Amino acid sequence: MWLLILLVNFVIMAAGTYWYLFGRPSPFTLESVRPPGPYEMDQKKRDKVLKQGFTKEKIPDNLDAIVIGSGIGGMTAAATMAKVGKRVLVLEQHDVAGGCCHTFTKQGFEFDAGLHYIGQLHENSLFKVAMDQITEGQLEFVEIDKHFDNLMIGAGEERRDYSIYTGKTEMEQHLKKQFPEDVKAVEEFFKIMKIAARRTPLLAILKLIPKWLALFLIKSGIIYLCSSIFRLSSTSATEINYRLTSNKDLHLIFCYIFYGVPPKDSSCVINALLLHHYKRGAYYPKGGASEIPFHITKVIQKYGGNVLVRAPVNRILVDEKGATYGVTVRKGGEDVEVRAPVVISNCGIYTTFQKLLPPEIQAKPEIQNRVTIKPGKAAFLLFSGFDATSEELGITSTNLWLFKSNDMDAMMEEFYSMEKDEAPENIPMMEITFPSAKDPTSQIRHPGKTSMTILTMVSYEWFEEWKDTTVRKRGDDYFTYKMRFANYLFDWACKHLPKLREKLVYQEAASPLTSMHYLGSTRGAIYSADHNLERFCAETLAKNRCDTPVKNLYISGQDVFSCGIIGAMHGGLLSASTVLNQIIYIDLFLLKKKLKREKANEMARLCKLKVQ
């Protein structure tokens, strides 16, 4: 009798587990992907999609969810839910959808707000499969030059140049040629890259399994027996660098893609993943970064949802039982109430927990515990337009990374400790990128024009005195101060690309306050919460989840897992998994395997035809 009861319970548990993992409709199907349509050149038609202003009449009926913020994380969550029949409304405070993926045009020059290039888009990669699904195959990418990054360390006769190439084996081999005395160190670093790439899904699993189970596995030490990724994630990049080699130029190459955190305080896994991200190619959206929100918006609308801009959410509504039931949007001097059983916030943990929730909810200890991670460093961007083609300026799609020295830790520590007036003329590093040189449609849309973006990291405190002023009305002192940064960055760029100066016709600088205004980023931190070691220790990863102490309120975007386009997109996928109570990554992996199998069968068929 007891044996029969145990057998019945086992069958019920097995059936329940199978249903949970595989028994529900998948949001991802081969049939939803179709060949890309013609590129939409008509700006008015594009604006109808990307700049649809908020009104009460445009709110869809019977909403299933509201997403606050139209960054890639929020849009991914919305599109994924839409594809299982959910009606989702995305609300964006800016006048154009896309977050860091939006573009803006000034005096005939088009600039990216945050996207510079993307990796892991090779055929049938998980990221490519996911991107094809949420755009239904309408988004096209162009692979840029294999020499995708160039590093310049030092100045004058002491300057050293290093080139970074894409390629499954070429990236490693090319580095070995440049560092013949450190071949072993390069090999060991690429082993770490492989571990990071293959085992990082285990870090994400900590956010999908029940929290009590995740914490039990961590505190018992079981997870550390499962994989080395859990110890690596809380090991600093500097520690790993010194284990491998004493060559500080190579140290810099192992962590040159900066995001505001010095290597001594950053996870070696994140730095390894950032370089691995481009191993199989670096890509750029054909038609510019705005193509991403343009096509995702259409998918959301296809299933009855919408994406509305000029819709600043000023409050998340919470009932007496502690559950959210909607938001209010400040419009025309009044608060417009929008209701839905689920709210997903893609505007960052600080804005969500410290500004949008009612004060009595903010004060709860469980809410305060969610904002223990400090905000990241702020960004400063310089947008420049040139009346010349890329060929005339002597530039390519290769990005340039300039560093004053090879000691990232010392450079960043010294820079961030500077007084406000000292900082503008002592910037230690920057990235230069040319979006118009990466996009083959650029010369069709903006003939004879070239755009350039320079990015560096700064301290928010240097600009804080103007935080209560309004955009474009911050005063002469502010303009003079931010242009000191801009002029220094541009002069440094001209030392390497002297043709820039004579062809410059437009320039605009974006300080941390600019990012706060247009992107809604806390303290101008475009990568959101600080990506330090504490954030990537196993326990913090397990606790920093998509669900929140407020019932039916969820978090998406860069604060869920990691920074950048792909990090934010995974934040959206994790959020959709949590809301739907369905591990949609299983659907993605199964679809990826099916596509690979079809590709293999097609190759076999072609080989058979050739033999015949």
Q: What are φ and ψ of residue 432, in 5° steps?
A: -115, 130
Q: Is the dihedral of CA 256, 257, 260, 261 positive or negative?
A: negative
Residue that the structure tokens 């650029």 belong to: 442
Q: Kindly state the tokens that stand for 343.
A: 């709210």
Sign of the CA dihedral 214, 219, 225, 227?
Answer: positive
- C-beta neighbour count of 354 within 10 angstroms: 15
- The interaxial angle of helices 183-208 and 237-244, nearest 10 deg, is 150
pLDDT higher than 70, residue 336 = yes
Q: What is the DSSP letter of 267?
A: B
Can you read off the two tokens belonging to residue 90? Answer: 């995305």
- Backbone phi and psi for residue 318, each to the nearest 5 degrees, phi listed first: -130, 130
Q: Which of 34-38, 513-517, 603-607 has the lowest mean pLDDT?
A: 603-607
Q: Tokens 């192992």, residue?
A: 254
- Which of the 8 DSSP states describes residue 124? T
Checking if the pLDDT of 7 tops 80, the result is no
pLDDT at residue 19 in the model: 45
* Residue-wise DSSP of 57-96: GGSPSS-SEEEE--SHHHHHHHHHHHTTT--EEEE-SSSS
Residues 117-137: pLDDT tens digits? 999 999 999 999 999 999 999
Q: What value does the mean pLDDT of the chain take?
A: 93
Percent of the chain with pLDDT over 70: 96
Q: Write down the pLDDT at residue 609.
A: 76
User: Which 3 state secondary structure label does DSSP give 313?
Assistant: strand
- The pLDDT, as a whole number, for residue 373 is 81
CA 163 to chain centre: 24
- pLDDT above 80 (res 17): no
pLDDT for 202 equals 92
pLDDT in tens, 186-232: 999 999 999 999 999 999 999 999 999 999 999 999 999 989 999 99
Name the helix (H) or strand (E) containing 197. helix 183-208
Q: Is the pLDDT of residue 9 over 80?
A: no
pLDDT category of residue 606 using cuts at 50, 70 and 90: confident
With residues binned 3-state (H G I as helix, E B as strand, rest as coil), the percentages for the chain, rounded to 5, are 50, 20, 35
pLDDT above 90: residue 353: yes
Q: Which domains does the chain have, with CATH numbers?
A: 141-183+251-285+374-524 (3.90.660)
Q: Report the helix count and the strand count for the chain, using DSSP H and E.
A: 26, 20
User: What's the confidence (pLDDT) of residue 5?
Assistant: 54
Q: At what angle do helices 268-276 and 237-244 cross, to 10 degrees?
A: 80
What pLDDT, on a 0 to 100 scale, did the predictor assign at position 16? 46
pLDDT tens digits for 223-276?
A: 999 899 999 999 999 999 999 999 999 999 999 999 999 999 999 999 999 999
pLDDT value of position 409: 97
pLDDT band at 14 (very low <50, low <70, confident <90, very high): very low
Give the separation between CA 149 and CA 333, rounded to whole angstroms. 48
**Residue 23: per-residue pLDDT:** 56
Residue 106 has pLDDT above 90, yes or no: yes
Structure confidence by residue, pLDDT tens digits, 420-458: 999 999 999 999 999 999 999 999 999 999 999 999 999
Mean pLDDT of 504-512: 97
pLDDT for 1: 53
Give the confidence band of 569 by pLDDT, cuts at 50, 70, 90: very high
pLDDT at 276: 96
